[in-house]
Amino acid sequence: MKKLTVALSLLTSVCLHAQKFDGLALTPPMGWNSWNTFQTKIDEKLVQQTADIIVSTGMKDAGYTYIVLDDGWMTRDRDKEGNLIPDPEKFPHGIKALADYIHSKGLKFGLYNCAGTLTCAGYPGTRGYEYQDARNYAAWDVDYLKFDWCSSDGQNAKESYTTMSKALKKAGRPIIFSLCEWGQNKPWEWAAPVGQLWRATGDIGAIYDTVKKTNGWNPLSVMNIVDIEADIRKYAGPDHWNDPDMLEVGNGMKLGEDRTHFSMWCMLAAPLMMGNDLRKMTEQTHNILTDKDAVAIDQDALGIQALRYSKSGGLETWFKPLSDGGWAVCFLNRANNAQKITFNWKGENVVDDIYKKQLNAASTTYSIKNIWTKKDEGTTAKAFEGEVPAHDVIFLRLSKK
């Protein structure tokens, strides 16, 4: 009897882990999503132009692969057979043709829907249609599905997302499953077998740290999200990422704030989904988004989310262990004035208890590269000195010599 119980529980755990398609997101997914800038004002031309720009401006080469259509791509009703209908005015050639176009550029294509009865913008949700919708997505050659949580009263999040994950698996096409229930049901505790990423927070705004209080819904600031992510680092890793929401780089924050936002998302091993209008992007925005050294920190094969090592007077120090034995370091200045730092590597004891890593500058010397200035900053043999402007970062890569 005992043997049977053990065998059954083993089988259950294998089945649970076999639930999603494995290995689709060994590093955090990168791409573009329509929501932050366009909300439901999306169409075929915008998506095609965006794909063209991703290729022609080197963003594809930098790693941006998934083009995801968020809410607003369908009509208000399903057809008589219960199928979702792509809005014929926005997408006159249908979704499959658009996916073909994206694929012809060597990119991948994603769609949005919702676990509830209606999407957040009031279009038909998937509740009760999971297997049918999954079959359609597979037939349209979709590669990525973002799945929201509006109009889900009375639903159990784990069960609802598990059902959709199984439906995708049954449909047979490897599709990245991106859960979006805003961290309300602690998805980090149960979603690793279900999907490749889960939103850990409510929606981001292009706001550095102030929270605009209105009577209605309030977006979160970049710093609100950083604080939430600091506590859940142990749950993330290859193929199962905490998602701090899509990027707001290029959407109105100051340059140093955009740089901070991007640096911290890289430190957090976050999915990097651009959310700006690429047709109007400035050179500065393009340079931040495509910086090879910054993206390499995000995409590091170890997939460890950074640790907040110290925090004092608005100045924070974050460390991220890397696969080559090096570390990424980010000095983050949240204050409204510039702050000087002196960091004596040899005198510090940076230990990552969760991942069993230690930065021991007393016995190992690391060379230091400044990621944004590209300057060689010497080695950890002597203390690092610098000044971090208000709402900005100093972002470093330490490599074993």
Residues that bind ligand GLA (CB under 6 A): 35, 70-71, 112, 119-121, 148, 180, 203
**Least distance from ligand GLA to the Cβ atom of residue 32, Å:** 13
> Which among 70, 71, 133, 148 is annotated as catalytic?
148
Instruction: Please name which of 209, 149, 155 lies closest in space to residue 182, comparing C-alpha atoms.
Output: 149
Active site residue 79: no
**Least distance from ligand GLA to the Cβ atom of residue 90, Å:** 15
Which residue is closest to ligand GLA by CB? 120
> Which among 52, 141, 203, 209 is annotated as catalytic?
203
C-alpha dist (Å) from residue 224 to 110, 115, 204, 265, 305: 27, 26, 9, 13, 17
Please give the distance of CA 158 from its chain centroid, rounded to a whole number.
20
* 384-388/339-343 β-pairing: antiparallel
Closer residue to ligand GLA (CB): 152 or 285: 152
Closer residue to ligand GLA (CB): 274 or 350: 274
Closer residue to ligand GLA (CB): 40 or 379: 40
**Least distance from ligand GLA to the Cβ atom of residue 120, Å:** 3
Residues 30/66, Cβ–Cβ less than 8 Å: yes
Angstrom distance (rounded) from CA 315 to CA 94: 50
**Least distance from ligand GLA to the Cβ atom of residue 201, Å:** 9
Closer residue to ligand GLA (CB): 180 or 267: 180
Active site residue 243: no
Extract the tokens encoding 277: 């209008």
Q: Is 285 exposed, middle or buried (0-12, 13-18, 19+ CB in 10 A)?
A: buried
| 396, HSE (Cβ side, Cα atoms, 13 Å) | 27
**Least distance from ligand GLA to the Cβ atom of residue 229, Å:** 16
Closer residue to ligand GLA (CB): 119 or 242: 119
Residues 259/393, Cβ–Cβ less than 8 Å: yes
Which residues are identified as catalytic?
148, 203
